[in-house]
Each structure stands twice: as C-alpha cells, then as structure tokens.
Structure 1
Amino acid sequence: MKVAAIFGERAAGVVDVPKPTPKEDFALVKVHVVPMCTEYKAFESGRQGHRFGHEATGEVVEAAQPGRVKVGDRVVVQPGYPCGRCSLCLAGEHIHCQSPRDVRQITGSVAGAATFAQYLLKADWLLSPIPDGVSYQQASMACCGLGPTFGAMQQMGVDAHDTILITGLGPV
C-alpha cells in the first residue's frame, strides 16, 4: 500500500509498505479523507518516517472480530492508540491516555499506524459511525477540528449564553 513519508526537512513523498492485517479488536480502514492538523510541523522540521497523520475518515474493509464495526461501515477514525482501560480512557479522555497500546506488538508491524496512507489499523472502539447524509469531508472535522474545542467547552461549562474570548493561532 502507499503511505506518505517524510525524508527530511521539507521533503516528503510516497513509499510502499505491506498492507496491514487486523488482529485482536483492530479493524482495517480504507482511508477516504485525512485533514491536515499538526503534521505540517513534522514536514517543516524534517522528522523522518512514514507514521504521518493521526485522524481520518474511511470505510471498514476488514475486522479481526465481528461486533462493534462491520465491513462497509463509514467511520471517523479517532486519534491515537489508547489502552481503553485506564481512568482517562473510561472517562472519555482517551487522547490523554498514559498507557497507549503498541501497534507493532499487537500486529507485528507499524504499517497501518498512520492516516496519510491507503489503509490504517485502529481498535474498533475508536471508530465512530458517520451518519447518513454526512460526507467523509464533513465528518473529517469531528476529531481535531471539533473534538478538542467541544471537550474544552464541556469542561468549562460554557453554554450558548456565555461570551468567550478565543486567543492564539494554534492548529485547533
């Protein structure tokens, strides 16, 4: 399969890696849309490798075990490889998990651990269904585009009647 890779400072391209195989609770997702988030920092700095990207939308093409997802499901791919068992994960704060799963240990490869690729592997509980009538492009904003902002507003108890000040020019 094709995967985006960084070769050096401001140098990127496409490389071939083996297509990953899902195991345990992982599913294989054919990637349709990958929004650009903080990946530009890796491109600018020249951090080499082919594990590029952390959020996407796509279609489930294979599941290691039946259950949460099935072949053909349109899904939003949540970022990271959290454990799913710690207090942070159980509280819905899986992006802050301190005990992430090791994709290489589970699947025997890091192929599939990036979203700028034709396919990726993700635990089935990190795949959220895309409602009918919502495009892959629209749904791709569900992770870093809306997720952190929505979570922050919930934590602060902000509602539609509050006035807020947004400062900074971060990636989210």
Structure 2
Amino acid sequence: MKRIVVTGRSQCALEDIDDPRVADNYAKVKIYSAPMCTEFHQFLSGDTGPLGGHEAAGEVVEVGPRATRVKPGDRVVVMPSSGCGVCDLCLSGDHIYCQDKKDPNVICGIETGTTTYTQYCVQQDWLLVPLPDDLSYDYASMACCGLGPAFNANHTMQVSATDTVLVSGLGPVGLGTAAIALYRGARVLGLEVNPYRIQLARDMGVEAIID
C-alpha cells in the first residue's frame, strides 16, 4: 500500500509499504478521508519520515476472527488511539486514557497500519463507528479531533439559545465549537488574529471577533 512521508519543509511524497494484517478483533479499513491534526507541525517543519495521522473515515475491507461489530463493506469512522475495551475508562468512552492499551503491532504482527495517512489501517472493531449512508467520508472524518471535543464541550455546558459563548482561538477545533454552539442557537463571539480564520468565522455566523 501507499503511505505519505515528509521529504522536506511543506513537502511530501508517497512510498510503498506492506499492507497491514488483521487478527483478534481488529478490522482493516480502506481510508477515504483523513484530516490533518497536530501532524501539520511535522509537515511545516520538514521533519522527514512517515507522516502519522490518527483519525479517518473509510470502508471495512477485512475483519479478524473475533471482530463481530463490523463487517466488510461497512462505512466507518476510525477512532484514534487504542484501549483494552473492558476497563471503566474504555466503557465510559474515555478509552484514550486506558492504562492497558492493546498494541496492534504485537497482536496483528505488523509494523504498518497503525496510522491513517496510508491506504489502509487497522483498528479494534469497537473503535469503528458506523456511518449513515447520507454522510460523506469527508464530513465523517471530522468527528474525532475536529468536532469531538467541540461537541463534548457544548454538551457538557448544555449550551442553548439563552447563552453567549466566547471561543478563544478559531482554529479547526475552535471553529467546530463555534459551529456547534451556533447550531444549538447560542450567540457566539470569538478571539482570533488570523485573517483567514476570522473570515471563516464571520461566514459561519460568529457575531463579533476580537483580534
């Protein structure tokens, strides 16, 4: 399969590597969309080597013998990180803090497939979230870092139409927070200095932005 490698400052290329294998409750996913999160630091700095990626959306193409929650052909969001799947943290949805994470390299006997800037990746079946047919891969891939923290913040604060929300920093997560707060009917203000982000926020409906 192909994966992305950084070859210099803001420069990338494709290289051929082995396809990942599945085992246990792992599934192999063909990646159709993978947003860029903190990896952009490596891309901009030119720190050469494979460009990671930790979230994506795609189609299940193969499953391990103990994978029962997904099947080939399923459209899914690939959740980041790993977990044991049985501790209180995993069961409550906080698997990223699990203290007994499974290692796909050991379980599947692989050295590839654990990142998402590749053609294929592997993930445990319970960390693959099914997609409705009318949701595109590009939109779905934003469900993790792009919109996940934003959704949780709005949900935890129970933001409603009676609230005014101030978003400090209108980067990807900040814009996601603003979008969800606006959807919930809130008045949204922002703090941002980047002209491009300021314009995006204004186009979305952010009422006032302090730069």
TM-score (norm 1): 0.89
CA contact (8 A) 2:25 2:68 kept: no
CA contact (8 A) 1:50 1:114 kept: no
CA contact (8 A) 2:39 2:51 kept: no
Aligned to 1:157: 158
Identify unmatched segments of 5+ residues in structure 2.
174-211
CA-to-aligned-CA distance 1:97-149 (integer Å, 9 cap, x gap): 34432221112223101111111101111111110211112212211221111
Aligned to 2:36: 36
Letter in 2 for 1:148: P
The correspondence of residues 130-169 of structure 1 with structure 2, limited to 5 A, is 130-169=131-170
In structure 2, C-alpha distance between the alignment counterparts of 1:46 and 1:124, rounded to whole Å: 34
Aligned length: 172
Letter in 2 for 1:149: A
Distance 1:104 1:8, change over 3 A: farther
In structure 2, C-alpha distance between the alignment counterparts of 1:97 and 1:47, rounded to whole Å: 29
Q: How far 1:157 sits from its partner (Å)?
A: 3.4
In structure 2, C-alpha distance between the alignment counterparts of 1:61 and 1:50, rounded to whole Å: 23
Which structure's residues are more often helix, by fraction? 2
CA contact (8 A) 1:37 1:144 kept: yes
The correspondence of residues 21-170 of structure 1 with structure 2, limited to 5 A, is 21-50=21-50, 52-65=52-65, 66-170=67-171
Q: How far 1:170 sits from its partner (Å)?
A: 4.4
Greater relative contact order structure (CA < 8 Å, 6+ sep): 1
In structure 1, C-alpha distance between the alignment counterparts of 2:84 and 2:171, rounded to whole Å: 27
CA contact (8 A) 1:38 1:171 kept: no
TM-score (norm 2): 0.74
Percent of counterpart pairs with the same letter? 50
Q: CA RMSD in A?
A: 1.9
CA contact (8 A) 1:27 1:63 kept: yes
Letter in 1 for 2:119: Q
Provide the secondary structure at the position in 1 that maps to 2:96: helix
Aligned to 1:16: 16
